[in-house]
A and B are shown apart, each in its own frame.
Chain A
Amino acid sequence: MNPLQIHIGRVEFATPVFVASGTFGYGQEAAELVDLRTIGAIVTKSIGATPRAGNPPPRLCETPAGLLNSIGLQNVGVHSFVTEKLPFLRAHAGVIIVNVAGRTLEEYQEVVTVLEEQEGIAGYELNFSCPNVKEGGLEFSQKPAVTAAATAAIRRLTQRLVIPKLTPNVTRVSEIAQAAEAAGADAVSLINTVTGMAVDIETWRPRLNTVVGGYSGPAIKPIALAKVYEAANAVRIPVIGMGGIRTWQDAVEFFLVGATAVQIGTANFVDPRSAVQVAEGLRAYLAAKGLGSIAALRGRLQR
């Protein structure tokens, strides 16, 4: 029995440690550095209906314990994804979850409709929370009714996993998570980046071309934990937690507050094997604690 094995819907994952969208490309980039099959699931870079250039440079700024970005959903578009990226992923990766982005609900539907023709995809993470695009992005997960309508529309298109990815940039993430659950989501994932900015005091200019960007890395872990805790206490579907996880100890905290799985994001930029190392650490931790399953940790926060 594999103590790290989990299920979300009907999908089985060998480990509950995935790589987060936008932090692992389309898998191919890191394949020389890590065996993709040893990662619980690969959540792809966001895919839209058409190719997208993303935002102009500079679009990266490191701050103490964090990273600001304004990549702006640069992606190859769903048709190139199907012909150029998916075959490699299918041949080399385990579970594949495609992150879907759109300016409009129709664009999400279009992408999913195209991908439904393709084998080897376990599910869709719906990027309802990118702070770096002018249209779409955040607005899909800031109002429960909008989240519910968009989730339901995608639910009608597929039997595969539907996983809305939620923003922390709201007052009550639990209401958004409940709306997603009621609309038929199999799970919710959170958090996406936190809105942030940095300023160059010599030039008096913002560090990012877009002025404001998405903040990730260890600095946001306490925020992420609080949001995952809130959401996990509000819904019955699995919560996939992420935000600043670098080590297995970070991951344990997320399981204790109620996560079923976790995703590694910014840490991949430093070490693309992070997800594998976190899973190995979790395995040792479970053994040391005499626990037979990662599920035994879930929501066991003591108060």
Chain B
Amino acid sequence: MIANHEVARGIFLMRLHAPAIAAVVQPGQFVNIQTQTRPVEQLIPLLRRPFSVCQVDRQQGHFTILWKAIGPGTRLLASHRAGTVLSVLGPLGRGFRLPEHASSIALVAGGLGIAPMPMLAAALQQRGFSFEALIGCRTAAELWGAEELQRLGGRVAVATDDGSAGHHGFVTALLQHWLAQPATATGRQVYACGPMAMLAAVAERCRAANLVAQVAVETIMGCGFGICMGCNLEPAQGVQQFGRYWLACLDGPVFDSDRIRYS
């Protein structure tokens, strides 16, 4: 671990040196991190925790994750200083598919759902695509990512639950506004990450606009690579999935918004 800084209230950006992961990770993929450095017989909690890769510097062999202390696993991340060696498994999962053509692109993030967006934005910028970033969070103090996404060429709009920054309300209202604007001739693409309720609202608004978004789910995972089968998701009605369930770690975390049920 190279750095671990608070970038918004209670939200930290951790930079890790892991050239093998940095070389190949794609936007929307995640890593599974053992959040503690204790010997194996003292690991409590037991399991690794999944984090979206937020930014990558392939030349330096670095990447960052965005994290917030939510439970006993993530709380342990706060104690680590630069130089700490953490066990990291990755990159894991299926990431975002990048658009073939320059279309009207919206990145929709709710809360820590902002995490995968800078890396996605950088990939879009590299292809010469412009995009609009719609960022939602509870309050201005918890806002991170607006400047970063602007720097990557995005137009940014913010919504806060308490009205302390940007639009007073949910980020989906910003999406509704964006959907009401005319698209380019090559169409639209919506990428979203955030809590299930937000993704459900994104999926519903996109469906009404005849769009299928790409949504990245934040699901509890055991192993992260398909052996525990704990991170199952219901397929959307009418979607045939062998074995009936999706596994967020293998089939996702990015899904087409019409493929999953948001319960």
Contacts and interface: CB of A to CB of B under 8 A. Distances in A.
Interface of A: 22-25, 29-30, 33, 45, 51-54, 56-62, 64-67, 69, 71, 74-76, 217-218, 246-247, 249-250, 266-272
B245 A60 contact: no
B220 A60 contact: yes
A218 B44 CA distance: 10
A91 B245 CA distance: 28
Given A23-B227, A58-B220, A69-B230, A270 B47 contact: yes
Interface of B: 34, 40-41, 43-48, 72, 87, 89, 219-223, 225-234, 242-245, 250
Contact of A62 (B41, B45, B233, B250): B45
Contact of A53 (B34, B222, B244): B244
A25 B226 contact: yes
Given A57-B233, A270-B34, A270-B43, A23 B228 contact: yes
A60 B227 contact: no
Contacts of A25: 226-227, 229
Contact of B225 (A33, A52, A61, A65): A33
Contact of B245 (A45, A61, A67, A74): A74
A51 B231 CA distance: 18
Contacts of B219: 57
Given A23-B228, A53-B243, A74-B245, A269 B234 contact: no
Contact of B44 (A30, A53, A60, A64): A64
Contacts of A51: 242-243
Given A57-B232, A246-B43, 16 more contacts: A23-B228, A29-B225, A51-B243, A57-B231, A57-B245, A59-B232, A65-B46, A67-B222, A71-B228, A71-B230, A250-B41, A266-B46, A268-B227, A270-B47, A270-B223, A272-B227
A62 B220 CA distance: 10
A188 B129 CA distance: 61
Contacts of A58: 220
Given A58-B220, A60-B220, A246-B40, A29 B226 contact: yes
Contacts of B43: 246, 270
Nearest to B48: A270
14 contacts: A25-B226, A30-B225, A30-B227, A53-B243, A58-B220, A59-B230, A62-B222, A65-B44, A67-B47, A71-B230, A266-B46, A269-B46, A270-B48, A270-B223
A302 B229 CA distance: 40
Contacts of B221: 60
A269 B245 contact: no
